[in-house]
A and B are shown apart, each in its own frame.
Chain A
Amino acid sequence: MIAYSSSDIANFVVHLEVGKAGEQAEAGEEWSTFIKEHPYPFYSPASFIRLGLFFLTVFMVLLVFIFLWLLAGSSGSDSTLGMLLLITGVFSMLASEYFAQKRKHFQSGIDEALHCCIVVLYPASAYLFFNFPGWLIFLSGAATATWLYLRFLSALQAGVAVTCLFFSISLSAVYVMPAFVYALPVGMLAAALYHLLKIHISRVPVVYLQGTLMVRYCLLIAAIFYSNFTCVSMANGFELVDSFISVTYKVTTFLFPVLLLIYGIARKDIVPVHVATVSVLFAFYTAYLFTGASQPFVWLTVCGGAVIIVCVMLMKWLRTSRRGFVYRNTKDDETQKWLEILISANAPQTKSPAADVFGGGDFGGGGASGNF
């Protein structure tokens, strides 16, 4: 199922648990001992090179497409372009398999760029070559992204899959297609996750940690867009004034951030807190549009002032830990924590002596086994 070997994933899981200790200069000897025992299996460069490789790869795929197009006699017909997109898509898929399996690229920029190209190229060819309707094009994008996510463990693909799915539901399906059509990518995701959970019950949640985090962010941000009256009305190009839906949207626009914030604080979960903060900004913007656009600078000044006051108050209030949250630069604390984890991970494995137990038989009998 997954493109990477189980031993690679096992080492990857250990690295995920240890976190960013490799970046800590203080780790020293402990880190070198650790890395000998658990070599990092993948090529996953830092963010700058990842970004550079991403754009370069997209650029190269584009050049391959142009090259094929020139070979095809610069034809402008839909079927030729669709076929070329399909060929480029297949090429991208083969390249991504090569980079994942042979070169062990994982979130290196190259694999992600190729995946993004695949997600775009297949639906584009579905539109031009196979002449699929709109909902099926979005759906094919969602299905492709979901498949790539499950195969390559990519958090980016999880985001793409959810986004595709959301847009396919909100933009066309609401009016055109019944909801059961979307069972395909959701079913694929569920079946594959179940399959993976059965095989690597302890590994999968950790491996998919980044992916699930991305999915949560995407889902919550999608919920903001969906609950935000202004965004929805602008996206659909009409105003839902004086209707039941309008009131519902208005209520959810302002209620959603508050509920999310309460939920995040109650569950001590940072993701809803982040999303609630973003949705507060959306709600401010919506409120500004509701009141009319005549005084934008008054709104900006008032909102800015309110944000400053709230932040300063929160900074003071959170000097000591409150409800599981605190205002403190934890960079030094984290370094110390990871150092402790590293030291404990590298500590000699002392086998604790077995406690004295009576008996010894596994299945009853003389000696009164403690097991059965």
Chain B
Amino acid sequence: MTESNKELESRTISSPPISLYNELRLLLLAGVIFFSTGIGGLLYESRGNVAHIIAVAAVSGISLGCFIYGYRAKSTFSARRVQEKNNVFDFVILLGALTMLTAIAYLQFQFDIFGNRYGLATFIPMCILFFAAYYYDHSGVLGMAITNLAAWSGIVATPRTFGIIQWEMSVELVSTGIALAVLLELISRVSVIRQFKTHFSPAYHWTALNLAFIAALTGLFNLNVFLFTALIILFAFYFYRRARAEKSFAQVLLTLFYLYITCAYLFMEMINKTNLSGLSVSYITIFYFLVTAIVFAFLLIHHNKLLRK
């Protein structure tokens, strides 16, 4: 073993203190989510009782307390990313935002504070969340604000396990979805061009990407094949170019995945219109999926190499 290898080995073996940074942050996040979910459930369970006034006041108090703490602890506002020195700052703001949503939802549910103006019930929290996201420089709250924006425009985004958001889109909302996607993408671009909170740009961009393709695919499946195929190709071209520019493989993967779904749908539509027998259709379909799966795998490998250069 050479001297440098020995040195290398000794450096590798000598162990510095183990950092529990990620573990503790993850646990704290879990704690915040457990606590806000639990408190929301308790509030809902106590509806109609005398105690519910106290409960809703307590939840509002927690939310207000969190935001006041954030106001006092935060660093000076900057157009760039602000690195807070306080370890728990992000989590306090997140707890404040979550409990604020709980309180407003309960006030609307129990006291009808917005009456029948349901749009207002999502619009006001959305404005508060956007303000809080920019004021406190918090990406998590921004994600909640964007989800609220989608809800306000009528699109339902349901959080699922492991942070996956399931977008539920009806045919009537295709144009709204596409318009919203374009708007979000514009905000993403403007924030980069104007150098204002550029680290928020990916949050807008990712939502725009998913929303645009899901809206266009809903249109393809239910409305007009030619129009929405053209739209999907247009979206794919744009998002692919941006993914290449940003060297983001995840974006390439998603764009190719949505294109693959489009191609598979068009192929199945074409096959259904032919007069082939059932068995021939089965063979052709299997061959199609086998060949396209291989092509897709090669495309992934090729793009991975391309983006690494």
Q: Which A residues form the contact surface with B (CB < 8 A)?
A: 17, 45-46, 48-49, 52-53, 56-57, 59-60, 63-64, 66-67, 70, 110, 268, 270, 273-274, 277, 281, 296-308, 310-312, 314-315, 318, 321, 324-330, 333, 337, 340-341, 344-345, 347, 349-350, 352
Contact = CB atoms under 8 A, between A and B. Distances in A.
Interface string B84-113: 000110010000000000000000000000
B38 A66 contact: no
Given A327-B21, A352-B3, A46 B304 contact: yes
A59 B4 contact: no
Contact of B41 (A70, A297, A329, A344): A297
B41 A296 contact: yes
B18 interface: yes
A72 to B, nearest CB: 13
Contact of B249 (A49, A53, A56): A49
Contacts of A52: 253, 257, 297, 300
B11 A341 contact: yes
22 contacts: A46-B249, A46-B304, A49-B249, A49-B301, A52-B297, A59-B289, A60-B293, A63-B289, A64-B290, A67-B283, A268-B15, A297-B42, A308-B91, A311-B28, A314-B20, A315-B28, A325-B18, A325-B20, A329-B21, A330-B21, A344-B4, A344-B11
A352 B6 CA distance: 13
Contacts of A268: 15, 18
Across the A-B interface, give the 4 residue pairs with the lowest CB-CB distance, nearest first. Answer: A304-B35, A304-B34, A300-B38, A307-B31
Interface string B276-299: 000100110010011001101100
B250 A48 contact: yes
Contacts, number: 163
Contact of B282 (A70, A325, A347, A350): A70
Given A53-B300, A297-B37, 18 more contacts: A57-B297, A60-B294, A63-B290, A70-B283, A296-B41, A298-B42, A300-B34, A301-B39, A302-B38, A307-B30, A308-B91, A315-B24, A315-B87, A325-B18, A326-B19, A328-B21, A341-B8, A344-B7
Interface residues of B, number: 54
Contact of A311 (B4, B27, B38): B27
A307 B15 CA distance: 29
Interface in B192-227: none
A117 B31 CA distance: 38
Contacts of A321: 17
Nearest to B30: A307
Contact of A56 (B20, B40, B279, B297): B297
Contacts of B32: 304, 308
